[in-house]
Structure 1
Amino acid sequence: MLRMSVSNSDSRSMSCSESDQEAFIDFKDGLEDPDNCLSHGKPGPIVVSGMKPSLTKLKSLRHSDLSFNGFNDIPIPEFFGSLVNQQYLNLSNAGFSGLTPPSLGNLTCLQHLDVGIFSSFAESLDWISGLVSFKHLVLDGANLSRIESDWMEKLDGLLSLTELHLSRCNLCAPNSTSLNFSNITPLALVDFSYNMFNLKAPLVNVDINRSGLHGRIPLCFTKLPNLRFLYHFGNDLRASCPQFFRCSWKKIQELGLDSNELHGKLPASIGNMTFLTYFDLSGNNVQGEMLRI
């Protein structure tokens, strides 16, 4: 069954060009539409017997939602990368499988892409660098275990990004010594949950200020012996001070943990951070006095 929502850039006008009408009719020839939903521009159950690339001829097409369908594990069609005017493309839970086509990187007008598909995979994220208008990226569940460890550099070029969802992707740890989103100033939400980062990597700088993070502060950060700069300002992250500061940060120089949900008493082990020059815990529920370091 297929539920499809498509629209052009002008919601006030239901008319389209003759060439668009012909392209849409050709696309419909591959579908069984007993309730004539496509003709009336309304969502409804449609039986799929094929998918023609005639969608690429719809020059006014801006918004396509194919989510929550049953495409019987067919690959994501390569021709989606030719929908050059597309601004919104949602393929999540649509029954696609296999390789996420790098041709999606041709969609330079694309602002929202959701390919959260548990049976899909990507071999590289190089194609993302062409999506200069990108604001919202969802790859939840896609298998990214094959991509190179420089994926962080690829994301760092998406300067308009506001939301990033990479949950359950089998991501490897980035090869960079810095986990830093400071170049992506609009970024409001990041989700890396349920990945298996190998945080024995020599991370020196972790900057996730104002990243819309919630829940417990990952204790794996406390096992980074080379860490020198950690900035968690303005998130909604929880941790107890005795547990969080039971760490091996002998080289730490700056800790910005203000405006989170740290609680409890500061342990005496903070006195071992002899290189610490900046420490901000304001906006937390921390007890005890700061010891001289």
Structure 2
Amino acid sequence: MRNPVQLPLMMFVLCAVSQVVNGEQPIRCLPKEREALLQFKVAIVDEYGMLSSWSTPHCCQWEGIRCSNLTFHILSLDLHGDFYQYRYLSGEIHKSLMELPQLQYLNLTSNYFQHTHIPEFLGSLKNLKYLDLSSCGFEGKIPIQLGSLSHLKYLNLGWNDLEGSIPHQLGNLSQLQHLDLSYNHFEGNIPPQLGNLSQLHELYLKISDGGQWLPNLISLTHLSLEYVSNLNTSHTLLQVIAKLPKLRELSLVHCSLSDHFILSSMPAKFNFSSSLSVLDLRDNTFTSPTVFHWVSNITSILVELYLSGNHLEGSTSSDFDNVMNSLRHLDLSYNNFKARDLKSFSNICTLHSLYLSSNNLTEDLPSILGNLSSGCVRHSLQELHLSSNHITGTLPDISIFPYLKTLFIDGNQLSGTIPEGVKLPSTLEELTIGFN
């Protein structure tokens, strides 16, 4: 039988916990951790008042701070900046953060720490699960100490000025699911130890080797390789990528892929994962619509295809229309297509959005829309971008696309008056016709 003296004490504890959980009183942070945050604040240059709330007694109520309801330890420090809103921190990341032993989440993305290195002491935050230091201007090498963060699931060091080799110690991060090292200046081959990251779902980086370590990444769903200059002369890497069993999104941007690559690989069958639904081939050097035939050979379940920033022109074959029976988004902006080429895409019956900005469309708008509406796409299209071409004429009947929500035709050479009775789709939400 429970001691009667204990009952009032238990009721008091339960009442106190209830008050905390229900927000009836603020969670009081631990004095040692509050002092650590204040030391961090002193070392930071806060021109825009991001830390202005860091003065009250209860640091768990400060902006960017989240504490445990039970232990009162600080669990999360989210101080991401925003350059466009003039809201970012600079200065020094103080080692007082080492006094936050239960910290699990640290987000400092889009702040301004240029001409500084990533602090080595971050490797001592053993409970970290999420670390985002992207777009901060960090220089130097990746500290090998980050390889000690055994609970880390998310690591983003992209968009900095990091250099040197990628430390093999990152291969120790056995729980890692997201790794972004893109847009830096690394040298040398990728350490084969990255092949140990069997839990990795998303990988963004630049590589200069054959990717022999890639087949071990059996959980990979998102892979982004940019500026891989040797990809155009070797099919080995792409064959390795094609065997990743769960790959859903593949980005090969700025990889100098050309028509020669496609023609030389036509006999080879890249048996891509049956789950591949997004393919990004922006800013390569394709000129021929043969790329559409190649894409339809390697996968038939694409939902999104990005081909902007190439030199494409001409009409594709009907095979592409027939095979692409799940495509919803097609980006062909910054190419050289003409109005007559648009018939090639008029029978993609699932297409919701089509981007054709900055092409070589010189015909009048009724002809362009007529070519595009000649097939079943007229019943599926919801978003059409025709900005920054050389389109002439005036605004015709747009109701031929009954489900269109967005139409951009700004930056062309339309002229005259808009007919008073012009028909618009009842679904239309946005019409941009300026700069004509």
Length-normalised TM-score, structure 1:
0.66
- Greater RCO (CA < 8 Å, at least 6 residues apart): 1
Aligned to 1:160: 199
Aligned to 1:25: 38
Q: Report the CA distance between 1:256 and its aligned residue.
A: 6.3
User: Using the alignment, how far apart are the partners of 2:158 and 2:30 within structure 1?
Assistant: 33
Aligned to 1:72: 114
Residues 108-150 of structure 1 deviation map (CA, whole Å, 9 limit, x = unaligned): 1111111112411241341221111111111120223x132x5
**Equivalent runs, 1:49-128 vs 2, <5 Å:** 49-128=91-170
The answer (yes or no) to whether the contact 2:201–2:221 under 8 Å persists in 1 is yes
More off after superposition, 33-42 vs 106-115: 33-42
User: Using the alignment, how far apart are the partners of 2:184 and 2:274 within structure 1?
Assistant: 29
Residues 192-238 of structure 1 deviation map (CA, whole Å, 9 limit, x = unaligned): 13332345457265424542236799664654699676434332349
Q: Which has the higher strand share?
A: 1
The answer (yes or no) to whether the contact 2:293–2:317 under 8 Å persists in 1 is no
Does 2:77 align with 1:42? no
**Structure 2 CA distance for partners of 1:283 and 1:215, relative to 1, 3 Å:** farther
User: Using the alignment, how far apart are the partners of 2:167 and 2:243 within structure 1?
Assistant: 22
The answer (yes or no) to whether the contact 2:90–2:111 under 8 Å persists in 1 is no
**Structure 2 CA distance for partners of 1:214 and 1:51, relative to 1, 3 Å:** closer
Q: Report the CA distance between 1:46 and its aligned residue.
A: 7.1
Q: AA paired with 1:190?
A: L
Identity of aligned residues (%): 23
State the SS of the aligned residue for 1:23: helix
**Structure 2 CA distance for partners of 1:238 and 1:58, relative to 1, 3 Å:** closer
Q: Report the CA distance between 1:163 and its aligned residue.
A: 1.5
Give the gaps of 5 or more residues in structure 1.
1-10, 247-254, 267-281, 286-293
Count of aligned residue pairs for this structure pair: 245
User: Using the alignment, how far apart are the partners of 1:230 and 1:76 within structure 2?
Assistant: 41
Q: Report the CA distance between 1:14 and its aligned residue.
A: 4.1
Does 2:174 align with 1:174? no
Give the gaps of 5 or more residues in structure 2.
1-19, 65-78, 80-86, 282-287, 306-315, 326-436
User: Using the alignment, how far apart are the partners of 1:108 and 1:85 within structure 2?
Assistant: 8
User: Using the alignment, how far apart are the partners of 1:89 and 1:37 within structure 2?
Assistant: 23
The answer (yes or no) to whether the contact 2:142–2:167 under 8 Å persists in 1 is no
The answer (yes or no) to whether the contact 2:137–2:160 under 8 Å persists in 1 is no
Match of 1:197 among 219, 222, 230: 230
Q: AA paired with 1:180?
A: P
Q: Report the CA distance between 1:57 and its aligned residue.
A: 1.7
Match of 1:231 among 272, 275, 300: 272
User: Using the alignment, how far apart are the partners of 2:209 and 2:113 within structure 1?
Assistant: 33
The answer (yes or no) to whether the contact 1:125–1:154 under 8 Å persists in 2 is no
Q: AA paired with 1:86?
A: L
**Structure 2 CA distance for partners of 1:161 and 1:216, relative to 1, 3 Å:** closer
The answer (yes or no) to whether the contact 2:134–2:160 under 8 Å persists in 1 is no
User: Using the alignment, how far apart are the partners of 2:291 and 2:92 within structure 1?
Assistant: 56
State the SS of the aligned residue for 2:37: helix
More off after superposition, 131-140 vs 231-240: 231-240
**Structure 2 CA distance for partners of 1:119 and 1:238, relative to 1, 3 Å:** closer
Does 2:188 align with 1:147? yes
State the SS of the aligned residue for 2:185: coil
Q: AA paired with 1:58?
A: L
The answer (yes or no) to whether the contact 1:241–1:265 under 8 Å persists in 2 is no
Q: Which has the higher helix share?
A: 2
The answer (yes or no) to whether the contact 1:209–1:235 under 8 Å persists in 2 is no
User: Using the alignment, how far apart are the partners of 2:168 and 2:263 within structure 1?
Assistant: 31
The answer (yes or no) to whether the contact 1:175–1:201 under 8 Å persists in 2 is no
State the SS of the aligned residue for 1:117: coil
Residues 36-90 of structure 1 deviation map (CA, whole Å, 9 limit, x = unaligned): 3335421586764433211112112111111111123211111122221111111
User: Using the alignment, how far apart are the partners of 1:22 and 1:55 within structure 2?
Assistant: 10
Length-normalised TM-score, structure 2:
0.47
User: Using the alignment, how far apart are the partners of 1:173 and 1:29 within structure 2?
Assistant: 44
User: Using the alignment, how far apart are the partners of 1:140 and 1:202 within structure 2?
Assistant: 22
**Equivalent runs, 1:211-222 vs 2, <5 Å:** 211-213=247-249, 220=261
**Structure 2 CA distance for partners of 1:65 and 1:201, relative to 1, 3 Å:** same
Residues 136-184 of structure 1 deviation map (CA, whole Å, 9 limit, x = unaligned): 111120223x132x54x43332122222122xx3x213263x8536x42
